[in-house]
Chain A
Amino acid sequence: MARFATALCFALLLCLPAAAAPGGAASAAGDPQRRSALERKNDALRKELELAQGNAFYLVVDPSARMLRLMLKGVVLQGYTLSRLAVGIPSAPLHRSAPPDLAGFLAADGSLDPPRERDRFELVVGPGSASDSLPEVPVPPPAEEVYRIPVRFWIRFSGGVAVEIRSRLSEHTSFKQALFDRIWEPLKASFEDLSNRDRDPVRLLLELTRDDAASLYRVLPPDTKLLILPSE
């Protein structure tokens, strides 16, 4: 524990000059800074146009608008407001690695983890089956009751990038549920992070309301792509 505390203090000390630097650099850079911003924006627009011309569904993370959009062919199918956007990399107490530049980042083959499980009703019938001997197809429950939605889940993309979706507590959450979500879930998440360190070299953390997170979990089409726009 003493080592960890020392490492934390050391990391904080290292972060101080890094946190102070960008402001000064921005004022000094002037036009190159603006050129760089425009280039990054155009690069992201080019990628977005490319996605809009394809047939795949894609997610667009817009840090400026704090929005996550599910899109197809340039049309927003569903938009989710994000309460938190963060990039996580496995922490090394004594090794400070630079976080990746994610502006214009593009990833493919997104799939849900844990996967959505759907029970399909199978009906086997023959040409001569009597109508009264056929099993009755049950009326399925509404979508909200079909899937059990985890409090946090991942959309894993090829190349080792994962988007972690976390649910934010709604105002109507019961005290017991709130206690569970605020204490047990973060604890569980921390232990899970330990085992996922090698699995996710880069992790994008997005926090949504519980309803939005559940909706995204239910509707996300398979093989979705991901684009991260630069912030302004």
Chain B
Amino acid sequence: MPRTPRSTSGSPALPRVLRTLSSNTAEREAAGGTGVKPARDPAREDGSRLASARPLPDARTLEEGPPPEPVRVPNVAPAATGPRAPDTLPKGKKTSKRKKDEPPADRAICAIPDLPIVLPPPAAADGATRARKARRRGRHILWILPLGFLLLAGVLFGVRACGFRYRSLADLTSAAGAPAVDPPRGGDAGKGGPPTIEKLEREGSRLTAALGDKVPKGTYLVIDQTHNRLYLRKHKETLLEAVCSAGGGVVLIESGGGNRKWVFDTPRGQFKVLNKIENPVWKKPDWAFLEEGEPIPKDPNERFEYGMLGEYALYFGNGYMIHGTLYERLLGRSVTHGCIRLGRDDLRKVWEACPIGTPIYIY
């Protein structure tokens, strides 16, 4: 769809071709669409313009009608005498392709008299220009992409080269990879000579045995309070993996005169089963009443609550226990006040497997 020509002077819109033929600038623009670049024409500068002297066709005729008549360009002076045409050509000229057996455009203008120049309709000229620009852009992209890739690769290489240099840890910690033999250590150093290999081996065995003694001989409990898992282990074997509930980390602050604060975390570290209680009774502490919005009772008997802790409880110090729960649906979530809650069946297995003194490791 051709664009509607508009006059910049506010006069009724003139056909583009008309404007093209009436000014040098516009003429160059129109000629550019044909693939033949207009050379500077001294004859035209003198005012003898054949093209402009001809009656101009109607804009509609040019744009929508049959192909326009050829417009004759007057003979021009030879290149040697006149201003040299290529000097005035736009740069794009050098890259445009010529047909076979066709003389260079500048020469064609100079050598062939009355060279017919067909001025195409403006829409066609615009399309050709656009196509040429697109081709040129495509060619640019062909260059830009690999160059950009190379640049990026270079930057990445530089960044990595300036970062950290890694070597395998196994190589660096092996005796072969060690920079030098360590000086002799221990009591043998004072005796003058390095320790014998037998002595070193004996010492190694002693240290290994001492380390082995640190691992409990019987069953022990390992509790992962983050993932709410309890493991019953014997040596390196896991006898039971159970879902439990650990402390929720809630902070309870008593307002008013008391200003006491409780943090419901499960402690980390090593503990031992200090006491085993069947059918435990919960003696509710102050925070339990505060949490429920109840007044703290003065009668100690009002603190006892039955059945809340399940069938069994394994007490491991500071008021913390491994016990049962009425709310088994919350197992696996950190919801307790610091104790470890277990399901009914798992609690029974732990109760049976763990005598008083069983180590508990909580992390």
Residue ranges of A at the interface with B (Cβ–Cβ < 8 Å):
1, 4-5, 7-8, 22-23, 25-26, 31-43, 45-46, 48-49, 52-53, 55, 57, 61, 63-64, 70, 72-78, 85-91, 93, 98-103, 118, 120-134, 137, 139-144, 187, 190-191, 193-194, 197, 200, 203-205, 215, 218-219, 221, 228-232
Contacts and interface: CB of A to CB of B under 8 A. Distances in A.
Contacts of B220: 75
A72 B363 contact: yes
A52 B170 contact: no
A50 B363 CA distance: 20
Given A45-B204, A187-B156, A194-B159, A133 B293 contact: yes
Contacts of B131: none
A73 B171 CA distance: 29
B204 A64 contact: no
B251 A123 contact: yes
Residue with the highest number of chain A CB atoms closer than 10 Å, among B165, B201, B216, B222: B165
A35 B214 contact: no
A99 B227 contact: no
A86 B184 CA distance: 28
Contacts of B250: 120-123, 137
A36 B166 contact: no
B251 A121 contact: yes
Contact of B170 (A1, A64, A194, A215): A64
Contacts of B256: 126-128
B172 A100 contact: yes
A53 B222 CA distance: 18
B249 A120 contact: yes
Interface in B14-53: none
A143 B200 contact: no
A31 B197 contact: yes
Residue with the highest number of chain A CB atoms closer than 10 Å, among B154, B178, B330: B178
A219 B227 contact: yes
A230 B160 contact: no
Contact of A73 (B169, B182, B270): B270
A232 B171 CA distance: 10
B293 A101 contact: no
B270 A125 contact: no
B294 A131 contact: yes
B332 interface: yes
Interface stretch (B78-86, B205-213, B311-319, B338-346): B205-213
B181 interface: yes
A204 B160 contact: no
A144 B333 CA distance: 11
Given A129-B290, A204-B169, 14 more contacts: A36-B175, A46-B207, A70-B363, A75-B220, A87-B168, A99-B167, A103-B174, A122-B250, A123-B253, A124-B255, A126-B255, A131-B293, A142-B332, A228-B169
A143 B227 contact: yes
Nearest to A55: B269
B164 interface: yes
Interface in B287-333: 290-296, 330, 332-333
Given A36-B181, A126-B256, A203 B208 contact: no
Nearest to B249: A120
22 contacts: A35-B197, A36-B175, A42-B204, A48-B211, A63-B169, A63-B170, A70-B363, A75-B222, A101-B179, A103-B178, A120-B251, A120-B263, A122-B251, A127-B256, A127-B295, A129-B293, A134-B292, A142-B228, A193-B164, A205-B166, A218-B226, A231-B171
B163 interface: yes
Contacts of B361: 72-73, 75, 77
A127 B170 contact: no
A131 B292 contact: yes
B164 A203 contact: yes
